[in-house]
C-alpha cells in the first residue's frame, strides 16, 4: 500500500532533540496541522470540532533511511537493555509510523487552507501526517492496565535554572512549553556528563544547557542555525 501525507505538522521544535518522548507530556506545546491541497476540504473536517482529542498517524521523518531493527534500546531503560521493537514505540520499525493523541484547540480556514491547531504533540516541525481519527474515551481509554517495562521506570523531572535575561526572549506560552521540555530531561538516559553542553532548537533559538545531578542550567540562548 502506498500512502501519501494528507497534512504536515508545524511547531517551534525544528529538530528531533528535545521532542517530548510521548504525546501529552508537554500539554503547553502547540502546533498546527496544515492540510495538503488535495485534502484541504472543509467537508472532510465537518464535526471534528466536537472532539477534544484526536489520534494522529504520522511518519518518523528525521531518522534517516536505514532498515528496521528487531531489537531496540528504549531510552526509559537507560539505553543499555534490549527489548523487541514491537514492545516499544521506537522509530526504528518496519513502516516507521507513529501514533499520537493530541488535544484539538481549534479549526481554522486560512484563506481556503484548512488547519487544525493542536497541543501536546510529540512531533518535530515538518512531520508528515498520514491520517487523523477522533479520540473516543469509552473505547480508547484503559485504566488499571499493565504497561510492561514502563511500569518499572519513571522519568525524574529536573530542577530548571533559567536565567531571567534569557527567559525574556520567549513569550509566556513559549516559555511554559520550553520549561516543561527541559524539565522532562531531553538527554538520552545514559548521558551523565555535567560538563557537556546540549542544545534544543526551539522557536528559532538554540537553547544551550548543562545538567548536573538533578539540576538543568540554561547557559545561553543563541540564534538557531536550524530553520
135 and 53 inside one domain:
yes
Q: Can you give the pLDDT of all 227 residues of the chain as single tens digits?
A: 889 999 999 999 988 889 998 999 999 999 999 999 999 999 999 999 999 999 999 999 887 777 888 999 887 787 778 999 999 988 889 999 999 999 999 999 999 999 999 999 999 999 999 999 999 999 999 999 999 988 877 778 899 999 999 999 999 999 999 999 999 999 877 778 899 999 999 999 999 999 998 999 999 999 876 55
pLDDT computed for residue 151 by the predictor: 81
Q: How far apart are the C-alpha atoms of 32 and 117, rounded to whole Å? A: 5
Q: Is residue 78 in some structural domain?
A: no
Residues 55 and 129 in one domain: yes
Domain span including residue 216 = 159-223
Question: Is residue 212 a part of any domain in this protein?
Answer: yes
Q: Supply the pLDDT for residue 155.
A: 72
Q: Which residues, 6+ apart, have CB-to-CB distance to 48 below 8 Å?
A: 54, 104, 107, 116, 132, 134
* Residue 45 DSSP SS3: helix
* Domain CATH code at residue 39: 2.40.30.70
Say how far apart CA 68 and CA 75 lie, in whole Å.
17
| CB distance 224 to 191 below 8 Å | no
Q: Are residues 170 and 213 in the same domain?
A: yes
- 112 and 48 share one domain: yes
What pLDDT does 66 receive? 73
Check residue 225 and give its pLDDT: 66
Cα–Cα distance measured from residue 150 to residue 222, given in angstroms and rounded to the nearest whole number? 35
Residues 56, 13 share a domain: yes
- Is residue 117 domain-shared with residue 29, that is, in the same domain? yes
CA atoms of 10 and 29, how far apart (whole Å): 11
Indicate whether 44 and 102 sit together in one domain. Answer: yes
Instruction: With respect to residue 119, please indicate whether it lies within any of the assigned structural domains.
Output: yes
Could you tell me which residues are beta bridge partners of residue 83? 72
Residue 73 · residue 84 · CB < 8 Å: no
Considering the domain boundaries, does residue 52 fall inside one? yes
pLDDT score recorded for residue 226:
53
Same domain, 56 and 104: yes
Which H or E run includes 115?
Answer: strand 113-119
Q: Count of CB atoms within 10 A of residue 136's CB?
A: 11
Quick check: 105 and 120 in contact, CB under 8 A?
Answer: no
Residues 182-204: pLDDT tens digits?
999 998 777 788 999 999 999 99
Same domain flag for 114 and 197:
no
| Spatial distance between the Cα atoms of 166 and 168, rounded to a whole number of angstroms | 5
In which region does residue 16 sit, left (phi positive, over 0), alpha (psi from -120 to 50) or beta (all else)?
Answer: alpha
How many distinct structural domains can be found in the chain? Answer: 2
Which DSSP string corresponds to 150-213? GGG--PPPPEEE--HHHHTTS-HHHHHHHHHHHHT--S-TT---TT--EEEEETTEEEEEEEET
Both 127 and 166 in one domain: the answer is: no
Q: Please check whether residues 121 and 25 belong to one and the same domain.
A: yes
103 and 200 housed in the same domain: no
Note whether residue 2 is domain-resident: no
Amino acid at each position: 500500500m502506498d500512502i501519501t501525507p494528507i497534512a504536515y505538522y508545524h511547531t517551534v521544535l525544528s529538530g528531533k532533540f528535545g521532542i517530548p518522548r510521548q504525546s501529552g507530556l508537554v500539554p503547553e506545546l502547540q502546533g498546527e496541522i496544515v492540510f495538503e491541497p488535495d485534502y484541504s476540504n472543509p467537508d472532510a473536517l465537518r464535526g471534528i470540532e466536537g472532539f477534544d482529542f484526536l489520534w494522529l498517524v504520522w511518519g518518523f521523518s528525521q531518522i534517516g533511511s536505514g532498515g528496521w531493527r528487531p531489537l531496540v534500546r528504549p531510552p526509559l531503560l537507560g539505553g543499555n537493555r534490549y527489548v523487541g521493537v514491537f514492545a516499544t514505540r521506537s522509530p526504528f520499525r518496519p513502516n516507521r509510523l507513529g501514533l499520537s493523541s493530541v488535544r484539538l484547540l481549534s479549526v481554522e480556514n486560512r484563506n481556503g487552507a484548512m488547519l487544525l491547531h493542536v497541543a501536546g504533540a510529540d512531533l518535530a516541525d515538518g512531520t508528515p501526517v498520514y491520517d487523523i481519527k477522533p479520540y473516543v474515551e469509552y473505547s480508547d481509554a484503559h485504566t488499571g492496565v499493565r504497561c510492561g517495562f514502563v511500569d518499572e521506570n519513571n522519568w525524574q523531572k529536573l530542577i530548571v535554572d533559567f536565567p531571567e535575561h534569557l527567559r525574556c526572549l520567549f513569550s509566556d506560552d513559549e516559555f511554559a512549553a520550553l520549561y516543561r521540555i527541559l524539565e522532562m530531561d531531553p538527554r538520552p538516559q545514559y548521558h551523565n556528563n555535567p560538563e557537556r553542553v546540549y542544545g534544543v532548537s526551539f522557536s528559532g533559538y538554540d537553547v544551550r544547557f548543562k545538567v548536573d545531578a538533578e539540576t538543568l542550567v540554561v547557559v545561553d540562548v543563541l540564534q538557531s542555525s536550524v530553520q
